[in-house]
Structure formats: C-alpha cells, structure tokens
Structure 1
C-alpha cells in the first residue's frame, strides 16, 4: 500500500469517506480492480516517487496522478513490508484467481474424488492469499504453515464429503430440495473451512499480538486484543464474500438448467456457470471487503495495560492507536 512509502506527512486514507460503508465499497472496488494487474515495476517506482513527494511536502495537493499512484500501490504492495505481493495473491487478482476453483467446487455430481480435489485447491489458494496479505507483525514458520494448511484442508474436505453423504439420506425432503441442498454443500464447506483457515493461519497474531501505531505512524507496541479483532473481522468478511458467490450462482444455474440451458451441451452449461460466477464475484467482492475498515482505530483504554499512559514523538498522550486488519 501507499502507506509503506515513508515520509513525515500523513497520507489521506482514500479519496472516499471510509467512515461510511458505501465509501469503503468504492475504495475496495479500487483495490480489487483487475486492471491494476497490468501495473509494472516501472509504474510502481513512479508511483512511489509521487507518493513520496506528497509525504515530504513537495506535492501540495491530491492531484489525479496522486490518486492513481496511490491506487497502484494500494492494490499491489503489502502495507506492512512495502514489498510487491505475488501477482496471483493480490486482491486485484482475487476474482480471476478464484474463478476456476469456484466453478470446480460448484460443479454438480462430481463424486468424492472431485469434491476432495476442488476443496483442496480452494484451501490451497486461501492459504496463499492469507499468507500474502496477512499482518506481518509475526512471520509464520514453515512448520506452522504446513500444520495449519493441513488442518484447513482436512476441515474443508471433511465438511464437504460428510454433507454430500448426508443430504441423500434426508428421506423426508423432496428430490428438488435435496438437489438444491446438494448444490449448497460447497458453500457450507467453504464457510466452515474459511473460518478455520483464517484463525489457523493467523493464530500467531492472536497469541503474540500485532503492532499498533499512533497517529504519526510510530509503533506503540503489540496488542493481542487488537489481533483478535483483526482476525475475527477478517474471518467474518470471508463469510460475507463466500455467501453470494457460493449461493447465488448454483441457485441461478438450477433455474437455468430447467429453462434456457435444458438439453444444452456440458460446454454451454460450463460457460454459463463461469459467467454467472464471474459477474457475481466482481459485484460481491468490494461489498464483502468493505464490511470492516482495513485500517482501524481503537482506544488504548480497551487494550492491554502496558499500552496505556504512553506519549507520542511530540510528547502528547496517546489515546487512540491504529492497526492493519489485513485481508
């Protein structure tokens, strides 16, 4: 993010009002804009120069070039490290990266092998995205990464296979209801495993705390309470994102297969499925990401005792601190 560029002058968080949900939706739409995937190394270098000029008072106002530079950095660079996030795991690549995996999970009548494969693929992608975009206060060891990854995959596969076997045994339900419930099994697996995934992959943050900063951007200390808020909100936002993407397309496809897609080839049905998923994902992602602000403020009175009664570089008492929720 642009905040990784140093300088004495604070950056405006966004061109939109992030205290409102709609303002955050518009901001998140910029972060997840897939056109930002075309940003080159030279573009990022030029963007850093523009942001640096603003942070050092050389650029006096927020010009269109400033906002474009900030958008490039916000969608491409990690806010804690300042490093470029690997392309497939950037938020601007979220929809393209998830398209094939989501379509695979929503394919009806796959059987156990297909279910296991696509749940594994989805959790593998989730782990990679979590690792690339998480708060970097505490890097995760390889052993922790492997352990958490294994548990997340096990959770998703267990829920998916278990529900696929359970639904057909619900004798009191109609055939149509069973079909709809069967199409929603991937949603249940993704939501349950997504929560497990986030808490496992970022459990170190809860145990050790994450960095909190004063209004000048200086680190005040580490907070476990802020970490729990960050991880819990991220887990909830994953549910918010998964719900429309994993629920709306399969229900629409059930309707289409009874009408315009009836008797059509598998290729046509697959193309329709991909199209519905793609449109739903582009619409849903900004709304899901915007549920909670990425950078949040919290009163030090709500945090650990050791964070209270501190002063900033100007010798003023610190009453509010800020932290990066991560994605």
Structure 2
C-alpha cells in the first residue's frame, strides 16, 4: 500500500488522458485492475489462502467489469443530446471515475470472496494489561473461530474505502483541469497540460489515500453479540471481539 500513490499516479494519469480511444481505455483499465489485484491480494485478511485459479478468475471478472462500464459510459456520453458541449466534456472526464469506483469495489469482493464464504479469524478484545503480556510473549491469544459476518463487514468496509479513495482522485483533477485549460496561461502552453494534470493527481492522492484508509480501523472491534451465535458471551474486554479488516 505504501507504493500506491506513485503507482496510482501513472495509472490515473493514463486513464484521465483526454481523447482516449477504445484501445487506450481498455489498456488503462486492464493496467488499473492489475494493480488493484496486487494491492488487494497483498493487504487481505490472510485467514483464508487464495488459490491461483481464484486469483485469475477474480482478476478476469474485475477487468471485464471495469472495461464494460468504461466503454458503456464512453458510448453513452456522446448520445446525451440535452447536455451542453462543456457538460459533455465534464461528463466524459468523469467516465473513468465511474469505471474505477465500480471495478475497484468489485475487485475487493472478488479477491476476498473466500473470506466471506469461509469466514475470518476472530479474537477476544484485550485489555491494556493483556496487550502488554502479549507483546512480551507472556500470553498467547488464540482465535475464537472463523466468522462470516465479520468477514462481510471487513470486506464491505474495505470496498467502501476504495470508493472513498477513488472519488477525490478521479473527480477533482479532471474537473480542475477543464477549468485550467480555459486560462490564457495554459492555452499558450499546451505542453504543460500533462505536467499540470500529474501534479493535480499527485497532490490529491497524497491527501486522499490516508483519509480513505483511516475511515475504518484496520484492527476492527465489534460486539460478540453481533456475530454468529457461537461467539455470543465469548467476547473479551467489554464483550468485544477483534479481527483484522485488511487495508
């Protein structure tokens, strides 16, 4: 995840390039989903190992979804005759956002679908004294079992965080670029369009990623009563249980 800003800078700049044809749109959507698969696989809960066939299937489904949304919206925008030319330009620039947000969330569910089907490890919540004992090696915490409800919550929150991250990155730069391209300074310097676009994407990414990751805690704590009956009355501190949401 620490490499996300730089890798996403290249991919987002490619997807937001004005006037992309069908081949360019497909190429950048495939590249984006390839990066997403790597990130989601590396930052999953890891309670359930993923087979190679599952990874390949998830990858192909995510790529198909993103390409379908992107191409479908690209074909739809020119047919919206009620929109002004300027509105069509803005709508066209926002097509990559719709594709990225949809496929990004779907990618998380596909890559981590086994967690929902089989459940993830759930642990009793610890007091501060117990945490110190664990840190010193005097105490070992074993999982209470695997919970499908915890897995659904973990994967759902992670998918939502991907949408929260993509929204400012894919919306603000293209809208700001439309405005900036109307200024005399940029009109006289067309070669600066790409560097300005990259600067906008980079700046937005630096702030968007930490906020999106912080929207939900990685070490999630919930009431044991909210999970399957087998976990009721088995919580730790304050009747809570914990699990690794992933990022």
The answer (yes or no) to whether the contact 2:223–2:235 under 8 Å persists in 1 is no
The answer (yes or no) to whether the contact 1:309–1:318 under 8 Å persists in 2 is no
User: Aligned Cα RMSD in Å?
Assistant: 1.5
Correspondence 1:194 to 2:104: yes
Shift of 1:282: 0.3
Counterpart selection for 2:123 from 203, 213, 227: 213
Give the number of aligned pairs.
232
Aligned to 1:95: 5
Aligned to 2:83: 173
- Stretches (4+) displaced over 6 A: none
Shift of 1:287: 1.1
Aligned to 1:319: 239
**Kindly tell me: are residues 104 and 311 of structure 1, through their superposed partners in 2, closer, same or farther at Cα, counting changes over 3 Å?**
closer
The answer (yes or no) to whether the contact 1:300–1:318 under 8 Å persists in 2 is no
SS across alignment from 1:107: coil
Counterpart selection for 1:106 from 4, 10, 16: 16
Q: Which moved more, 1:205-214 or 1:256-265?
A: 256-265
The answer (yes or no) to whether the contact 1:184–1:247 under 8 Å persists in 2 is yes
Between Structure 1 and Structure 2, which shows a larger proportion of helix residues? 2
**Kindly tell me: are residues 171 and 296 of structure 1, through their superposed partners in 2, closer, same or farther at Cα, counting changes over 3 Å?**
same
Aligned to 1:48: none
Runs (5+) with no aligned partner, structure 2:
131-140
- Matches of 2:9 and 2:47, distance apart in 1: 31
Shift of 1:127: 0.5
The higher relative CO (CA closer than 8 Å, separation ≥ 6) is in 2
- Matches of 2:245 and 2:144, distance apart in 1: 16
The answer (yes or no) to whether the contact 2:224–2:235 under 8 Å persists in 1 is no
TM-score (norm 1): 0.69
Deviations 1:148-187 (A, max 9, x none): 1000000000000110011001111100000000000000
Counterpart selection for 1:302 from 226, 232, 240: 226
- Matches of 1:284 and 1:112, distance apart in 2: 29
The answer (yes or no) to whether the contact 1:249–1:277 under 8 Å persists in 2 is yes
Aligned to 2:138: none
Counterpart selection for 1:163 from 73, 89, 105: 73
Runs (5+) with no aligned partner, structure 1:
1-90
- Matches of 2:91 and 2:166, distance apart in 1: 16
TM-score (norm 2): 0.90
Counterpart selection for 1:246 from 156, 170, 181: 170
Correspondence 1:255 to 2:179: yes
Counterpart selection for 1:139 from 42, 46, 49: 49
Aligned to 2:32: 122
